[in-house]
Every structure is written in structure tokens, then in C-alpha cells.
Amino acid sequence: MQQFDLIVIGSGPGGYRAAVLATLRGLTVAIVEKATWGGCCLNRGCVPKKDWHHTAHLVASSKAFAKRGINGTLSADIQGAWDHQHKVVETVRDSYTDYMKRLGIAAFHGTGQFVDAHIVAIDNEQICGEHIVIATGSSPFVPENYTLAAGRVLTTDDLFDYPPPAGKRVAVVGSGVIGTEFAFILSQLGCEVVWIANRKPLAHSQFSQPALKILYDELHKLGIDPRTHSRAQQVEVLADAVKLTFADGQSETVDWVLLGSGRRPHTDKLSVEAASVALDDNGFVKVNTYLQTSVPHIYAIGDVANPCMTANQALADASVAIANILDPQSHKQNIAAVPELVYSAVELGRIGMNEDDAEDAELEPAVGFAAFESNPRALGQDDTNGFVRLIADMDSGALLGAEVVGSEAGEIIHNIAQQFGRDDALARFAGMFYNHPARTEEIQNATETLANKWGLAEQVFGA
């Protein structure tokens, strides 16, 4: 039986990063994957979705091209978009697997199952690890009354695993991040979207009402309005369509349905009970702040243990788990320090607390705000919707959280994340040197506004 310092079960962003980090630190590592190398994020999640989002953003932006002296409009074809993302995914996957080979990571293709707390079986082979990281990710949730049907009722996994089905009238089900992103994306890829949502989009998120208003307004301008408080009571898969009937008796007939209704932790066939690894009532692997399971040498990271269920969180978890394997209980998970992003008609990014969180923690939040409406770079791009908001503690001036809305929010929030958690984060923002003109300059403007409005000049400027 082969012996390893570490066995990683699952090759998504968390599992891959854990394997790479451990190998770079001198551990012998095996990684196990039952399906396609790269897991959900690479093959049917954030990588292909962001490829599609870029295409959708180009199409949406083209509606304002005329005032720039650019003639004509753009349109997109979903099959062509699918082909493009497929090539991107293949390129990334080839690079990914090649790097693992060059590092000497032992790759096992098959279903990993615990035999005991140190031994993992992969089909007819067994390997032994001093430490084990569970990184098996999640699976799409299929809501009540829906039954998956090829080419008619799909999950997002199906959408990227197979070429898109025929027909342009699509029902997108879900009001969370997945539904909010795909309602926009598919509408710009040539589909007629019927958006079915139990509640207003992102209603349960931590994004502020000003952020959500900008999102709703932009979606509305593009003719994308959710049918809220709606849930299909009956779903009929017909020969060439799907008929959805709602509680009020109304119905919608579409060519196909995309379920964007969330995901559930994936522990099927893992046999966690053989290793005495505990699950909670929702099926997540129970972990402590060091990401140890109920068995201290077994860790769990990413979607299978982290309810946030994002690749960002999985990557952060991997760093924490490997640090603790090398130096036990030296690093704690900090979910609030990991950026949260939504890629829809506008980009939304946030980190840390919002005002409600701060007040619940008995802190007094101070807010600094800077809009893109007068930002030279945004004006030059004809894309001025959005802002940067910083939330600080009124007493200490410590940065508690931040929110960015608008183009490049996903990149701008990283500049804030680099300083998040530092006592002098605001002072660093104020003292940084920025490219001009740039959207990032609004970080400095929001900092200066916050200092001036709330009397925090001493904490921010040191005077």
C-alpha cells in the first residue's frame, strides 16, 4: 500500500490548492478525483461562467456604442459562447494537470472512500495518508416538483457538461447568486429569459440596499425582471417544451429550464462514517476554526464544509488547512476576510461586515462613500453606475467591511482585501499611490470622505 503525508479527496479549487501548497512545502501528496480534473469550478462553475459573463457584458455594453462613434450592435449565439468557454476550460485543465505532474503529485482517478481514518480506497486500490483533506465540493440542488430531463430541465452542471439545448425561451429558477447571474448571462446570449424567483434577487445576501437597487435597475433596463413570489406547483416535460404551472393558476411554457437553486454538500459514497467523521444536520462536514473534522488529522475545506460555497472560500480554506497540517492550530479560518462576488448586470463585491453586522457586534459603524459617477476612468468607459463603500469602527477607525459595485468590482475588492484585518488599513489606503485615472482611486476617496465625515483624521492620516 502506498503511503503519503497527505491525501486530498477532490480536485476542485480547494483540493488542488491544498495539494499544490502541501507539495511545495515538502509533503508527499496524493489527490483523488472521481470525475473531471478541476472539479465544479473549472469545468462547470466559475471559470466557464465568467467566460460567459464577459461575453454577456460585451453585448450589454454595445448598446451604448453609438455615442462613442462605433456603429452597429452586437449579438451573441449561445452555442458559439459554449464552444468558446469549452476551449478555455480545456486550456486551463491541461495547464492544471501538467503542473500537478511536474510537482510530482500522485493522481488517482476514481471514487475515493474511507476505509478507516487513514486509509482511502479508490476502486480496487488503497492508499494510506498521515493526514487527509476532504474537498469533495457540492452538487446542484433540485427543488421540489422538478425532475431532471435531458435537454429540458437542467442544472448548471448539465449546462456546461453538454452543448446547450435547442430553443431560446428559458426559465431560470432561483433568486440567489446562481439565478441572478444566469438570468443576465443567458438574456445576453440570445435567450428569452423567464426568471422565476421565490423572493427578490439576493434578498438574503449581505449586500446593501443601494447596491441591490443598482443591480435591479440595470437588470430592468435590459428587460430582465424576476417573477417573484413564484414557485412552480407542477412541472410538465412535454415532447418539445416544459410547462410550469404556478399556485395562482398561471402558467409559462418554455423550451427548457435552468435550475439555479443552490447546491448541497457532496458526501455521497465517501463513507465518512468509516473514519468517524461527523456531519451536521444539513450534510456539511463538521469542522472547527482550524478546519479539523471530528478526527483531528482529517480536515475538510470548501463547499463540503463551508456554507458560503464559493471557490474563493475553498482557496482560502486550503491555505488554512495546509498551514495547520504543517504547524498544528496555527491558523484560523476567517470567512469574513474572503471577498464575495456576484457577476450579473453589474458586478457586486463585498468583504467583512455590513452595518447590521457591526451593530450586532455592538460596534458603531462609520461609512465612507465614493461614487463612480464623477470618476474619469468610469466616464471614459460610459459606465458610471456604482460606488465604493468602506465601513469602519467609529471609535478605533479599524476597517470592518467594504462594498464595491460596478465594473471591475471583482478586481477592486482585492485591493481592499489585501489590507483587510490590519489595524492601519485605512491609513494604508490614504497613503497609497494610485494610477490615474483609475476606478481604484475611489478607495482613497472613500477613505478620505470617511475620515472627514466621522472625525477620524488622526487614525487615518496620523495627525
pTM for the full predicted model: 0.96
The vertex-104 CA angle with 101 and 109, nearest 5°, equals 60
Same domain? 176 vs 323: no
What is the extent of the structural domain holding 119? 2-139+264-336
- 124 within a domain of the structure (yes/no): yes
Same domain? 329 vs 419: no
Same domain? 198 vs 227: yes
- 104 within a domain of the structure (yes/no): yes
Same domain? 204 vs 107: no
Burial 241-254 (b: 16+ CB within 10 A, else e): ebebbbeeeeebeb
- 246 within a domain of the structure (yes/no): yes
Same domain? 449 vs 433: yes
Q: DSSP secondary structure string, 180-221? A: HHHHHHHHHTT-EEEEE-SSSTTTTSS--HHHHHHHHHHHHH
Residue 286: give its domain's CATH number: 3.50.50.60
Same domain? 67 vs 117: yes
Rg (CA), the chain: 23
Q: How many folded domains does the chain comprise?
A: 3
Same domain? 314 vs 382: no
- 146 within a domain of the structure (yes/no): no
One digit per residue, the tens of pLDDT, for the chain of length 463 reads 999 999 999 999 999 999 999 999 999 999 999 999 999 999 999 999 999 999 999 999 998 898 899 988 889 999 999 999 999 999 999 999 999 999 999 999 999 999 999 999 999 899 999 999 999 999 999 999 999 999 999 999 999 999 999 999 999 999 999 999 999 999 999 999 999 999 999 999 999 999 999 999 999 999 999 999 889 999 999 999 999 999 889 999 999 999 999 999 999 889 999 999 999 999 999 999 999 999 999 999 999 999 999 999 999 999 999 999 999 999 999 999 999 999 999 999 999 999 999 999 999 999 999 999 999 999 999 999 999 999 999 988 899 999 999 999 999 999 999 999 888 999 999 999 999 999 999 999 999 999 998 888 888 888 5
Same domain? 121 vs 22: yes
Same domain? 361 vs 322: no
Give the DSSP H or E segment for 91.
helix 78-103
